[in-house]
């Protein structure tokens, strides 16, 4: 069963800020390292967990994006997209909650396999695709149900020039690794 992180679509319909200055100083040094890393988060978490890592599928289905997500993807909120929500579990703890929005036109050709990822990491496809490009990061501060505040980031990936939006919420357990 997914470990409940109580994140809903409303959390992602918020004001995202560019990670460029002056926002960087607001972010503590230890979180800045995670928010700004443009490499594969999956690979970094596999190393941090000494291989004790898995992707837990929370939900996947066709749904309308939030206004903020639709704007980032230049699509209408009246259109549906494939929405994938997962938790990245390291050493048995939820370290990241990720929500990806994949427009239907992106799920063509080789990208059809994005529909059947299951518990395979999205990153394993993104970072092995020679056509992959990644846009700038935006960040925001989210409040979990227990009033804990966490950092989130998002960026638009392009595979063969087709977009998908990936949002990642960094959970407190990520920094509590012993």
Ligand X SMILES: C=C(O[C@@H]1C=C(C(=O)O)C=C[C@H]1O)C(=O)O
Residues interacting with ligand X, by CB under 6 A?
40-42, 55, 84, 86, 88, 96, 98, 100, 121-123, 126, 166, 168
* φ and ψ at residue 145, rounded to 5 degrees: -60, -30
Query: Which CB atom, from 25 or from 51, has the smaller least distance to ligand X?
Result: 51
Q: With 0-12 CB in 10 A as exposed, 13-18 as middle and 19+ as buried, what is 12?
A: buried
Q: In the complex, what is the shortest distance from the CB of residue 41 to ligand X, in angstroms, rounded to a whole number?
A: 3
Q: In the complex, what is the shortest distance from the CB of residue 22 to ligand X, in angstroms, rounded to a whole number?
A: 26
Report whether 125 belongs to an annotated binding site: no
Give Cα separations from 37 to 7, 33, 104, 124, 148 (angstroms).
Answer: 23, 6, 28, 16, 23
Report whether 84 belongs to an annotated binding site: yes
Query: Which CB atom, from 88 or from 101, has the smaller least distance to ligand X?
Result: 88
Report whether 56 belongs to an annotated binding site: no
H-assigned helices in 25-161: 29-35, 41-48, 67-72, 122-126
Query: Which CB atom, from 69 or from 168, has the smaller least distance to ligand X?
Result: 168
Cβ atoms of residues 162 and 106 within 8 Å? yes
Query: Which CB atom, from 11 or from 84, has the smaller least distance to ligand X?
Result: 84
Q: In the complex, what is the shortest distance from the CB of residue 70 to ligand X, in angstroms, rounded to a whole number?
A: 19
H-assigned helices in 17-168: 29-35, 41-48, 67-72, 122-126
Q: In the complex, what is the shortest distance from the CB of residue 143 to ligand X, in angstroms, rounded to a whole number?
A: 21
User: Which residue's C-beta sits nearest to ligand X?
Assistant: 123
Cβ atoms of residues 78 and 144 within 8 Å? no
Mark the binding-site residues, compressed into ranges.
84, 122, 168
Mark the binding-site residues for substrate, compressed into ranges.
84, 122, 168
């Amino acid at each position: 069963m997914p470990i409940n992180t109580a994140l809903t679509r409303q959390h992602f319909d918020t004001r995202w800020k560019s990670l460029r200055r002056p926002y960087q100083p607001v972010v503590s040094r230890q979180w800045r390292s995670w928010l700004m890393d443009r490499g594969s988060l999956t690979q970094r978490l596999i190393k941090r967990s000494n291989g004790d890592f898995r992707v837990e599928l929370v939900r996947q289905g066709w749904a309308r994006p939030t206004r903020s997500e639709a704007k980032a993807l230049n699509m209408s909120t009246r259109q549906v997209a494939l929405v994938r929500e997962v938790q990245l579990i390291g050493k048995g703890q939820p370290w990241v909650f990720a929500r990806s929005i994949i427009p239907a036109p992106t799920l063509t050709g080789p990208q059809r396999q994005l529909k059947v990822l299951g518990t395979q990491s999205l990153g394993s496809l993104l970072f092995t695709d020679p056509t992959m490009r990644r846009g700038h990061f935006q960040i925001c501060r989210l409040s979990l149900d227990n009033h804990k505040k966490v950092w989130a980031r998002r960026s638009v990936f392009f595979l063969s020039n087709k977009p998908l939006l990936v949002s990642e919420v960094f959970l407190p357990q990520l920094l509590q690794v012993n």
